[in-house]
């Protein structure tokens, strides 16, 4: 693994944009539900975080656009999961550092 100082400005910008997307409370809640590796549908996600389905779709679109989530289509359902296992670790770390008393 390279040192952070060896990373290009472009990659740092991409990482910062990814962190900005994660920093939204609703998107962090969505990621919390996806962090165990399970695939979830938009319907299940909107039920879990108690928001409208259109709002869930909006936030999922942002997370997918920033390279945080991947999706796959199966019939009428779109299933979402976290793209990179290291991102799952980041979400778990945020939970331990900020959410656990």
User: What's the pLDDT score for residue 94?
Assistant: 78
Contact 56, 45 (CB under 8 A): yes
Q: Mind listing the pLDDT tens digit for each residue in 64-90? A: 999 999 999 999 999 999 998 888 888
Contact 42, 57 (CB under 8 A): yes
Residue tagged 């962190």 (tokens): 19
Give me the mean pLDDT over the 41-57 stretch: 94
Q: Which of 49, 80, 47 is nearest to 63 (CA)?
A: 80
User: What's the pLDDT score for residue 92?
Assistant: 79
In CATH terms, 7-99 corresponds, of 3.60.40.10, 1.10.10.10, 3.40.50.300, 2.40.50.100, to 1.10.10.10
Q: How far apart are CA 1 and CA 6, in angstroms?
A: 10
| Band of pLDDT at residue 63, cut at 50, 70 and 90 | very high
pLDDT > 90? residue 8: no
Question: Tokens at residue 41, please?
Answer: 């549908």
């Amino acid at each position: 693994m390279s040192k952070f100082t060896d990373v290009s400005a472009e990659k740092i910008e991409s990482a910062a944009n990814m962190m900005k997307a994660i920093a939204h409370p609703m998107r962090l809640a969505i990621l919390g539900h996806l962090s165990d590796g399970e695939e979830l549908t938009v319907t299940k996600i909107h039920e879990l975080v108690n928001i409208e389905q259109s709002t869930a779709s909006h936030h999922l679109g942002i997370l997918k656009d920033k390279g945080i989530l991947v999706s796959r289509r199966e019939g009428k359902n779109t299933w979402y999961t976290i793209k990179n296992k290291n991102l799952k670790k980041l979400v778990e770390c945020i939970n331990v550092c900020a959410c656990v008393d």
